[in-house]
Amino acid sequence: MTTTDPASQTGYRDHPPRMGFFTDTSVCIGCKACEVACKEWNAVPEDGIALTGMSYDNTVGLGADTWRHVAFIEQRKPIAQQDAGLHHDTDVLAMAADEPSTDFRWLMSSDVCKHCTEAACLDVCPTGSLFRTEFGTVVVQEDICNGCGYCIPACPYGVIDQREGDGRAWKCTLCYDRLGQGQEPACAKACPTDSIQFGPLDELRERAQHRVEQLQDAGVSDARLYGESPEDGVGGDGAFFLLLDEPEVYGLPPDPKVTTRDLPAMWRHVGTAAVTLVGGALAAFAATAFGRRK
């Protein structure tokens, strides 16, 4: 159940290691280069250039035409002093420990498809359009998708969505085309601070563990990993995060669970209900025979 090698489980032999993202939000500067690079590389159509007025976030959330989304959160919570005069030789972590805190901080985080180990979208897809790649990622085949929309409410993270005027479901492919050529995904390539790190998932998990310990030691007690554990409700994410607050602050579910884990129980109840219906119908006729005899 808690395999971290979904490609093998799918039936690939001699496949490359599972690839993924580690998005370290503690170094995200909110530049949205990932959003732009993703749109450009994948030729994702424009989907409205309105200003939301709620923050610097005018993308709002992941969807059919937004495969990377940078969240902006303004909080009255202390972090290290925000100082525009930083130099490259300044030890930011030491500052975090020593400098007096202010009571205001920015959180920025680039969200993306999680490429779950147990992917609900893939499980419920009735056409086989969604499939598991040899890299362990989850990709939609657009020439198969018939736009039934089942994957959309199945996703516990609100990632995949239906494209207006197109009807099919779209989401991040983890740049499947680039991976095949040995290149890293467009968003990771464009990220100027390495907030988005791409690589074999095992390596990323190690690196993330080291990073979160580093931050904790520096006094950033809010730092935590999200989606890295194979023990979680989706068997671990192929794209996981380092967050500085509770997941729901970033618009992420605090304890997501793949819906298909409950499917065996659902089928059992469906079976019992169907038998109940047969029993009810039999009783409906039996009662009339009984009534007539009287």
Q: Which positions from 114 through 143 interact with other proteins, judged by CB under 8 A?
A: 120, 123-129
Choose the stretch contacting other proteins; rule: CB under 8 A; options: 32-40, 46-54, 184-192, 212-220: 46-54
CA-to-CA distance for 132 and 22, rounded, in angstroms? 19
Q: Where are the alpha helices (DSSP H) in the chain?
A: 6-10, 33-42, 92-98, 120-124, 151-154, 176-180, 186-190, 201-217, 263-293
Q: Counting contacts by CB under 8 A, is residue 81 touching other proteins?
A: no
Q: Counting contacts by CB under 8 A, is residue 60 touching other proteins?
A: yes
SS3 85: coil
Q: Counting contacts by CB under 8 A, is residue 11 touching other proteins?
A: no
Applying CB under 8 A, which of residues 88, 280, 293, 294 lies at the interface with other proteins? 280
> What token pair was written down for 293?
């005899």
Applying CB under 8 A, which of residues 158, 199, 219, 230 lies at the interface with other proteins? 158
Q: Counting contacts by CB under 8 A, is residue 102 touching other proteins?
A: no
| Amino acid type, 190 | A
Choose the stretch contacting other proteins; rule: CB under 8 A; options: 38-46, 50-58, 177-185, 197-205: 50-58
- Binding to other proteins (CB under 8 A) within 240-279 occurs at 246, 248-256, 259-260, 262-263, 265-267, 269-278
Choose the stretch contacting other proteins; rule: CB under 8 A; options: 13-21, 36-44, 145-153, 197-205: 145-153
Q: Counting contacts by CB under 8 A, is residue 284 touching other proteins?
A: yes
Which residue, 183 or 272, has its beta carbon nearer to other proteins?
A: 272
Strand partners, 161: 170
Applying CB under 8 A, which of residues 78, 147, 180, 192 lies at the interface with other proteins? 147
Would you say 76 and 104 are in contact if contact means Cβ atoms under 8 Å apart?
yes
CA-to-CA distance for 60 and 104, rounded, in angstroms? 22
- State the pairing for strand pair 239-243/19-24: parallel
Q: Counting contacts by CB under 8 A, is residue 287 touching other proteins?
A: yes
- Binding to other proteins (CB under 8 A) within 187-226 occurs at none
SS3 243: strand
> What token pair was written down for 20?
């993924």
In the block, which residue shows the tokens 């109940």? 276
CA-to-CA distance for 155 and 101, rounded, in angstroms? 39
